Structure 1
């Protein structure tokens, strides 16, 4: 089996590009210091080694991608971590999304899915509320009480700005 084209071993769900990347690594780079292996190739190796259960290549790919994490966005890291069960990458990537000054955009939310997007949003809101409360208490002492309800004009303006940018014809009031 596998000795000729007639008896070739089929690898379903492995693309030619993935197989070429795997063979190139096995034949030419497995013992190198791997400076020549790009982040994209390590990502491909992680993907194919996970599916084919090549644990040593997978472990190596995880280590190499971890060393190059700064080249990936937090969303890319989360997607890779979930797809390939690398839970050690998640906490820092979630924290990076909560720390950044701008929210998820639509494409990022689509990549992450509804559940993770909602959790990131909730975490960001909790951080903002806690930051606001702490700042208020430092400035004015323990007299801080959160407002009963947000300003309706503010809510209307923000809803319009987020859901219909540039179009003021919608109103929530």
Structure 2
């Protein structure tokens, strides 16, 4: 006898359904400890998007109870803060679905740091995209060096060298002597030119100075 609901959907009862490759999710919650706080969420988000976590959870220790199943034996993540970790979790469980929960340079820097640390390739690229719009030139120079985003350096230098205002004391302290001297040298070259330099030529000069 054919089930009425199955018949109504037009699905023959003899067909054996197959599991969807992406949206049939075999998932267990994982318990993670950061500092003095426990977090419990779907492990799928880690194993799907992070090569590091995918490898970690694929390893099954012999004669040991797997971590992450109970509050007494969580997966311990050291060297990070709860604040940074929660900003990453906001991408998994956003309260504001349309605009997202993160809107500042500091928040997206947290994502960039952890996405780089744990090889979340897509989230790293998302953080780079957001910070390209949000971060100041000084932030982009510092973050570009810290997280290997070389394409930020030339454009950030161009903005600092072509703006009317000189570096502020705070900007100089953040950048350090090397960058302050380089920026001063480039600005002097621009202003010492007998003809107005186009941005294209300034970029060439910057790339040559940066090596």
The structure whose residues are more often strand, as a share, is: 2
1:36 is displaced (CA, Å) by 4.0
Aligned equivalent of 1:163: none
Aligned equivalent of 1:43: 109
Aligned equivalent of 1:144: none
- What is the TM-score of this pair, normalised by structure 1? 0.65
Aligned equivalent of 2:195: 134
Q: Which runs of 5+ in 1 are unaligned?
A: 136-173
- What is the TM-score of this pair, normalised by structure 2? 0.55
Secondary structure of the 1:134 match is coil
Cα RMSD (Å): 2.2
Secondary structure of the 1:89 match is helix
* 2:94–2:101 Cα contact (<8 Å) kept: no
Pick 1 or 2: higher relative contact order, CA cutoff 8 A, min separation 6.
2
Q: Distance in 2 between matches of 1:55 and 1:123?
A: 35
1:57 aligns with 2:118: no
Q: Distance in 1 between matches of 2:90 and 2:173?
A: 33
Q: How does 1:24-39 map to 2 (within 5 A)?
A: 24-28=90-94, 32-39=97-104
**1:32-66 deviation line (CA, Å, top 9, x unaligned):** 55444313432221122112222221111112222
| Structure with max Cα Rg | 2
2:88 to 22, 30, 50: 22
1:123 to 186, 194, 210: 186
Q: Distance in 2 between matches of 1:22 and 1:134?
A: 49
Structure 1 pair 27–134 and aligned structure 2 pair: CA distance change class (3 A): closer
1:13 aligns with 2:76: no
